[in-house]
Amino acid sequence: MSFHVLVEMNLPLLEAPTHDQLDQLACFYQRQNNEKDAEDWICPNPQCRTANPPVRNVFVNVYHTHCINSTCRKQIIVSQDFKLTDLILNDIDIDFPAYRQDDRCCTAFALLTGIDLVRRMKAAVLYKASDFQPLDPSSLPESFRNHFFVALGFEPGDLYRKRMCNVMEMAQSDGVKFLRGDGVFDSQNPDIMPIKIQDKFYVRQDDTFLMKRLIASGFPLLATILSGNRWSNVGACEVYNPPLSGYTYGHQVIGHAILLHGSGTDDGGIYFAFRDTGGENCHRRWFDDKGADGRLRAGQFDGVLYGFTLEGWLFNQ
Ligand SMILES: [Zn+2]
């Protein structure tokens, strides 16, 4: 199954998989129901009473946004919370600590976190593999420096989006290498190939339901926000409200890139779960949350979010 045949092949950035394509993927990937899945929702409108089945996705089924009865269309508000990192796939816990970016660029580390998550899902599903070789966190910044002759660092204003695309290009061309030396890397076998992304796509932040379905289908999303001075306090189940204007560096507003790996609904509406790479100096909850997990409301990101497919996994043969 492939979605890139449906769009211009020479577009560097594809449109996100559509709802129809996510439906097809959900049919293609057979699985048992899990406790995070949405259930049937019976419309409380006395003139309707329609049973709304959940919207099926590869990993987590979600609720429709509105009653499927076209003469009713009552809004569906049900509490639901899921994170891809909470999934147990083939009895394997795929959760992992995020790599710490230190003074290196958040875009590269947000993408690294996303690639780490997806390769764990892929390995658990396809190979029942649970011993995950550490990735080399310097690999993407090094590729970037080799190609563009500048180091990734503080990214001013609208350069941010370009940087995100550039870093994804590095992950397409060079990929992410495995860490050599310590760990389980077999130094006698230098032929272990880097992990490469196949395609990169975008989704607009006002397409909230599609964002939610993409994550539930195994596509974590890269987002940028303006981080403010309370960013370090956000904890696992807390919603963070980014400031309207961020830290400045010189005269430029500094954005921050994060990975969205879950979603849910509470009294305040839809939120997205993120995992940050800021390290224990940026987040006092760093060690509790395997990075720094928290929540952000839909509508508080930079206008466009990015996703990717990994070679040999979902949409690729
Ligand atoms: Zn209804």
> pLDDT tens, 63-89?
999 999 999 999 999 999 999 999 999
How far, in Å, is the centroid of ligand 1 from the Cα of 78? Answer: 14
Asked if the model's pLDDT at residue 47 lies above 50, the reply is yes
Query: Is residue 210 included in any domain, yes or no?
Result: yes
Question: Which two tokens mark 171?
Answer: 């992950």
Asked if the model's pLDDT at residue 2 lies above 50, the reply is no
Spatial distance between the Cα atoms of 102 and 183, rounded to a whole number of angstroms: 21
pLDDT at 13: 79
Give me the number of domains the chain comprises: 1
Handedness of CA 225, 20, 81, 197 (dihedral sign): negative
Q: Which residues contact 220 (CB under 8 A, 6 or more apart)?
A: 84, 113, 114, 117, 118, 259, 260, 261, 307
How far, in Å, is the centroid of ligand 1 from the Cα of 273? Answer: 29
Domain span holding position 102 = 81-310
Q: Which residues contact 43 (CB under 8 A, 6 or more apart)?
A: 49, 50, 51, 52, 67, 69, 72, 74
pLDDT at 170: 92
pLDDT at 152: 76
How far, in Å, is the centroid of ligand 1 from the Cα of 155? Answer: 47
pLDDT at 8: 30
How far, in Å, is the centroid of ligand 1 from the Cα of 213? Answer: 21
Query: Is residue 1 included in any domain, yes or no?
Result: no
Which residues keep their CB under 5 angstroms from ion ligand 1? 43, 45, 48, 50, 67, 69, 72, 74
Question: Which two tokens mark 185?
Answer: 């890397």
How far, in Å, is the centroid of ligand 1 from the Cα of 67? Answer: 5
50, 43 contact by CB (below 8 A): yes
Query: Is residue 44 included in any domain, yes or no?
Result: no
Query: Is residue 178 included in any domain, yes or no?
Result: yes
Query: Is residue 297 included in any domain, yes or no?
Result: yes
How far, in Å, is the centroid of ligand 1 from the Cα of 49? Answer: 6
Spatial distance between the Cα atoms of 11 and 261, rounded to a whole number of angstroms: 26
Query: Is residue 134 included in any domain, yes or no?
Result: yes
How far, in Å, is the centroid of ligand 1 from the Cα of 242? Answer: 35
How far, in Å, is the centroid of ligand 1 from the Cα of 45? Answer: 6
pLDDT at 159: 65
Asked if the model's pLDDT at residue 312 lies above 90, the reply is no
How far, in Å, is the centroid of ligand 1 from the Cα of 59? Answer: 26
pLDDT band at residue 120, thresholds of 50, 70 and 90? Answer: very high
How far, in Å, is the centroid of ligand 1 from the Cα of 76? Answer: 9
pLDDT at 3: 34
Please give the mean pLDDT across all residues of the chain.
Answer: 85
How far, in Å, is the centroid of ligand 1 from the Cα of 204? Answer: 28
Query: Is residue 27 included in any domain, yes or no?
Result: no
Give this prediction's pTM.
0.90
Average pLDDT, stretch 35-42?
95
Question: For residue range 280-306, what is the model confidence (pLDDT) as tens digits?
Answer: 777 777 777 788 889 999 888 888 899
Question: For residue range 128-172, what is the model confidence (pLDDT) as tens digits?
Answer: 988 788 899 999 999 988 887 777 765 555 566 778 888 999 999
Domain harbouring 223, CATH code: 3.90.70.10
Question: Which two tokens mark 91?
Answer: 């009895």
Query: Is residue 115 included in any domain, yes or no?
Result: yes
State the DSSP H helix or E strand holding residue 42, giving kind and residue range, or none if neither: strand 41-42
Average pLDDT, stretch 20-46?
93
How far, in Å, is the centroid of ligand 1 from the Cα of 69? Answer: 5
How far, in Å, is the centroid of ligand 1 from the Cα of 162? Answer: 43
Asked if the model's pLDDT at residue 186 lies above 60, the reply is no
**CA separation (Å) from 206 to 19, 209, 245, 297, 299?**
15, 9, 20, 11, 6
pLDDT band at residue 29, thresholds of 50, 70 and 90? Answer: confident
Spatial distance between the Cα atoms of 172 and 270, rounded to a whole number of angstroms: 32
How far, in Å, is the centroid of ligand 1 from the Cα of 88? Answer: 34
